[in-house]
């Protein structure tokens, strides 16, 4: 079962910051998950549309130029990173799950990932692009079938694995509240991986392991890795 650091090692350091991602790399996670938004001319790494949720700023992320965003404190004095800064830090050392949180991110994202593959040592298969907005995932696939996409759901839609298969998804990412063995088996029979968020409790890790889930998003990677090693 793969361990994916949710928003970096966000149980230890401020979420979606270089500090949290560096901590996850030190823990030797399989992958890091980050959230991206589009602001004026830049892809930046932050979870929410509103700045007050994770920084000392206010207003909408999308309406601020990068120069203003870079003045804000995202926790422990960390700045909101650009996607390029994260790619430069990770530089192919682990896989990267990039969750698209806003519209108009697809084309600039794919262009940046192409650059990261040629300059930073990433393989295309190290990137997994996910979103709750399945229109964005379809847009990615229409541009280039080779990208791996992860179909996110925060509920349990009927025939979800069949839907994800039609979307040509690599994986389904599902909230822990909605996953069960039947769901996992259906996905596996269709050749889809199942990744579950957000998993921080030992009993949950054991249950998901029994269900043969392929990976978990966790805020506490080391703790989760120790638990998995003992299963």
| Residue 67 Cβ vs ligand G3P, minimum distance, rounded to whole Å | 26
Of 5 and 27, which has the nearer Cβ to ligand G3P?
5
37 versus 227: smaller Cβ distance to Ca ion: 37
Compare residues 119 and 156 and give the one whose CB is closer to ligand G3P.
Answer: 156
Of 210, 212, 206, the residue nearest 185 (C-alpha) = 212
Distance CA 85, CA 70 (A): 12
- Number of chain residues interacting with Ca ion (CB under 5 A): 2
Please check whether residue 35 is in contact with residue 47, taking contact to mean a CB–CB distance below 8 angstroms: yes
Give yes or no for a contact between 211 and 181, defined as CB atoms under 8 angstroms apart: yes
Please name the helix (run of DSSP H) or strand (run of DSSP E) that holds residue 113, with its range, or none.
Answer: helix 106-119
User: CB 191 → ligand G3P: shortest distance, Å?
Assistant: 20
Instruction: Give me the 26-65 binding string for Ca ion, x by CB under 5 A, dash otherwise.
Output: ---------x------------------------------
6 noted as active-site residue? yes
61-100 residues near Ca ion, rule: CB under 5 A: 99
What residue 15 binds from Ca ion, ligand G3P, none (CB within 5 to 8 A, per partner kind)? none
Q: What angle do CA 143, 148, 153 make, to 5 degrees?
A: 105
The CA R_g of the chain, rounded to the nearest whole Å, is 17
Write down the least CB distance from residue 33 to ligand G3P, Å. Answer: 5
- Cα–Cα dist 59/63, whole Å: 8
- Which residue number, 34 or 69, has a Cβ lying nearer to ligand G3P? 34
Give the tokens for residue 116. Answer: 């990261």
Residue nearest to ligand G3P (CB): 197
For ligand G3P, the binding residues (CB under 6 A) are: 6, 33, 35, 47, 99, 130, 152, 173, 197, 217
**Pair of tokens at residue 123:** 């393989």
Distance CA 180, CA 31 (A): 23
Catalytic: 135? no
Closest separation in Å from C-beta 7 to ligand G3P:
7
Strands in the chain per DSSP E: 2-6, 31-39, 42-45, 95-100, 127-131, 148-153, 171-175, 193-197, 215-218
Select from 176, 199, 21, 193 the least CA-distant residue to 96: 21
Q: Which of 47, 135, 209, 230 is catalytic?
A: 47
Contacts to Ca ion from residues 182-221, by CB under 5 A: none
* Site residues for Ca ion per CB under 5 A: 35, 99
The residues that are catalytic are: 6, 47
């Amino acid at each position: 079962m793969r361990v994916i650091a949710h928003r970096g090692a966000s149980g230890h350091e401020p979420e979606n910051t270089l500090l949290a991602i560096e901590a996850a790399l030190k823990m030797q996670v399989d992958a890091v998950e980050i959230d991206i938004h589009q602001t004026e001319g830049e892809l930046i790494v932050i979870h929410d549309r509103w700045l007050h949720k994770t920084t000392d700023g206010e207003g909408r992320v999308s309406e601020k130029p990068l120069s203003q965003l870079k003045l804000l404190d995202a926790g422990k004095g960390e700045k909101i990173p650009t996607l390029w800064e994260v790619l430069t830090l990770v530089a192919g050392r682990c896989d990267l799950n990039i969750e698209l949180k806003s519209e108009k991110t697809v084309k600039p994202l794919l262009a940046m990932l192409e650059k990261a593959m040629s300059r930073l040592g990433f393989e295309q298969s190290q990137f997994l692009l996910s979103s709750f907005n399945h229109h964005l995932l379809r847009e990615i696939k229409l541009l280039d079938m080779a990208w791996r996409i992860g179909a996110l759901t925060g509920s349990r839609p009927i025939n979800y694995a069949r839907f994800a298969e039609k979307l040509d998804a690599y994986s389904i990412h599902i909230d822990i509240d909605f996953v069960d063995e039947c769901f996992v088996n259906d996905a596996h029979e269709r050749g889809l991986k199942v990744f579950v968020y957000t998993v921080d409790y030992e009993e949950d890790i054991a249950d998901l392991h029994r269900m043969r889930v392929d990976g978990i998003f966790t805020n506490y990677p080391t703790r989760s890795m120790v638990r998995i090693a003992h299963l």
